[in-house]
């Protein structure tokens, strides 16, 4: 692109480079989600609930452990344990 024997664009190479930089910025701004500090499950939930432009302001309301029935003390919810034991005794 700047060779003297073929296609010497000289300083016009900047316009190609600058245009590609602008296109990359627009791509990242409109299509890439902000996932810093989120677990994979939270990223999945965020992609269901928001757009890439508003993803930086998205805050998770629950954790994966809470959804699976883990209490604040780190133990399973007694209702879930009872349900599993009841289903296990039927088999």
Asked whether residue 65 is assigned to any structural domain, the reply reads yes
| pLDDT tens-digit profile, the chain (91 residues) | 777 787 788 888 899 999 999 999 999 999 999 999 898 988 999 999 999 999 999 998 877 777 777 777 777 777 877 887 888 765 5
Question: In Å, how far are 17, 56, 74, 90 from 80, measured between CA atoms?
Answer: 59, 34, 14, 16
What is the model's pLDDT at position 86?
83
Domain limits for position 62: 33-90
Count: domains in the chain? 1
Q: Where are the alpha helices (DSSP H) in 32-77?
A: 40-49, 64-67
In a domain? residue 70? yes
Do the domain assignments include residue 58?
yes
């Amino acid at each position: 692109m700047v060779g003297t024997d073929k296609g010497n664009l000289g300083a016009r190479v900047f316009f190609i480079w600058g245009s590609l930089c602008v296109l990359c910025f627009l791509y990242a701004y409109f299509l890439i989600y902000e996932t810093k500090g989120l677990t994979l499950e939270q990223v999945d939930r965020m992609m269901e609930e928001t757009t890439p432009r508003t993803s930086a302001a998205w805050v998770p309301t629950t954790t994966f452990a809470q959804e699976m029935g883990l209490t604040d003390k780190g133990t399973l919810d007694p209702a879930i344990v009872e349900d599993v034991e009841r289903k296990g005794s039927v088999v």
